[in-house]
Structure 1
Amino acid sequence: MVDIIYLLEMTGIVAFAISGMIVARAKNMDPVGIFTIGFVTALGGGTLRDLMMDNHPLYWMKHQELPILILCIAVVFSYWNRAHRIRESRIVLPDAIGLGIFSILGAQLALDLGHSLFIASLLGVMTGTFGGALRDILCNEVPYIFRKDQIYASISFAGCWVYFACQWLLDSEVTALTVGLLFIVIVRMAAVRFDIRLQRDPFQK
C-alpha cells in the first residue's frame, strides 16, 4: 500500500509540475521562473497542509528526490524547443490528475493524524487546490478556485466524501483511492468539456 501511495504522490507531483510549467512557458518565463512555478504548483498544497497540521519536516524536505525531479522537468521544459507550442488549455488534464491525487491523499493524511471527516475533507481540498492557486497568482491569473466559470474546489470536496464513503462501504483501500481519484478527474474534465458551473450569470446566454 505504501508503494501505491508513493507512486500516486509522484504522479500527482509530475502532473501538477507540468501544468505549472506549461503556464510559465506560455508567459515567457526563464528557466528559474519555470522551475519556481512548477515547484509551487506541485508542492504548495502539501506544504500548506503540513504547516497547518504541524507536520514536520515538510514532506518535500524529507524526500529531496521530489524537488530534484521537478528541477529536471524544468530543465527539459526550458530548453525543449517545442514546449512553447503547448497551449495553456493543455493543462486541464494534468491539473485534474494532480487535483484528484492530492485531494484524496491530503484527506487520508488528515484522517491518519486523527482529524474528523469534515476537517479531513477541507484539508484535502486545501492540498489539492492551493498549489494551482499559487501558480495562477504568480502568473497573474485569477485562480481556478475563485473563477465563477469553473467548478474546482467543490469537485475536490465531493471527491473526498466519495472516497470516505468507499472506505466505509468497501473493504479495500485501493478501491476507495481509485474511485475517489477517478471521480475527481472525470467530473473535472466533464465540467470543463460541458461548461458545468455552480452558478451562472443571469444575463449570460
Structure 2
Amino acid sequence: MFDIIFLLEMIGVVAFAISGMIVARSKNMDPVGIFTIGFVTALGGGTLRDLMMDNHPLYWIKHQEQPILILVMAVIYSYWHRAGRLRASRIVFPDAIGLGVFSILGAQLALDLGHSWFVASLLGVMTGTFGGALRDTLCNEVPYIFRKDQVYASISFAGCWLYFVCQWLLESETLALTIGLLFITITRLLAVHFDIRLQRDRKQG
C-alpha cells in the first residue's frame, strides 16, 4: 500500500507543479517565480490540511523529496525553450490529475487520523483545491474554485464520498482509491470539455 500511496503522491506533485509552472511562465515569471508558483500549487493544499489537523511536521518537510523534485522541475522548465509555447489553458489536464490525487489522499489521511467522513471530505477538498487557488491568486487570476463557469470543488467533494463508500463496500483499499481519484479526474475533464456548470446565467428577455 505504501508504494501505491507514494506513487500517487509523486504523480500529484508533478501534475500540480506543472500546472503552476505553465501559468507562471505565461505571466513571464523568472525561475524563482516559476519554482514558487509550482511549489505552492503542488504543496499548498497539503500544508493547509496539516495545519488544520495540527499534523506536524508538515508533510513536505518530512518528505523533502517533493520540494526537491519541484525545484529540479522548475530549473528544467525555466530553460526549456518550448515551454513558452504552452498556454495557460493547457493546465486543465494536469490540474485535473492533481485535483483527483490530492483530494483522495487528503481525505484518506484525515480518516487515518480518526476524523469522520464529513470532516475528512472537507479536508480532502481543501487538499485538492487550495494549491490551485493559491496559484491563480498569485498569478492574478480568479481561482477555479470561485468561478461560476467551473465545476471544481463539488467534484472533489463527490469523489471523496465515492471513495468512502467504495472503501466501505470493497475489500481493496487500492481499488477504492483508484475509483475515487479516477472519478474526480475524469469528471473534471468532462465538465470542462462539455461546459458543464452547476449554475448558468438566465437569458435576458
TM-score between both structures, scaled by the size of structure 2? 0.99
| Identity score, percent | 83
**SS of the residue 2:200 aligns to:** coil
Shift of 1:87: 1.3
* 2:28 equivalent in structure 1: 28
Deviations 1:76-119 (A, max 9, x none): 11100000001111111100000000000000100011100000
2:39 corresponds in structure 1 to 39
Match of 2:13 in 1: 13
Offset of 1:136 from its aligned partner?
A: 0.1
Deviations 1:48-81 (CA, angstroms, capped at 9, x unpaired): 0000000000011011111110000000111000
Asked whether 1:186 is paired with 2:189, we answer: no
1:167 maps to amino acid: Q
- State the one-letter code of the partner of 1:21: M
- For 2:123, give the aligned amino acid: L
Write the letter of the residue equivalent to 1:68.
I
Match of 2:112 in 1: 112
For 1:169 and 1:156, locate their aligned partners in 2 and report how far apart those are by CA, in whole Å: 20
CA offset digits 1:27-63 (Å, max 9, x no partner): 0000000000000000000000000000000011011
* Structure 2 unpaired stretches of 5+: none
Residue 203 (structure 1) shift = 2.3
Aligned twin of 2:66? 66
* CA displacement 1:129-150 (0-9 Å, x = unmatched): 0000000000000000000000
Alignment correspondent of 1:175: 175
Range with bigger deviation, 125-134 or 85-94: 85-94
Please give the per-residue CA displacement for 1:143-198, whole angstroms capped at 9, x wherever unaligned.
Answer: 00000000000000000001011111111001101100110011000000000000
Q: How does 1:157-172 map to 2 (within 5 A)?
A: 157-172=157-172
Q: Distance in 2 between matches of 1:141 and 1:64?
A: 29
| Aligned pairs (5 A) from 1:189-204 | 189-203=189-203
Residue matched to 1:98? 98
Q: How far apart are the structure 2 equivalents of 1:203 and 1:62?
A: 52
Aligned to 1:76: 76
User: Deviating runs (4+, > 6 A) in structure 1?
Assistant: none
Q: Which runs of 5+ in 1 are unaligned?
A: none
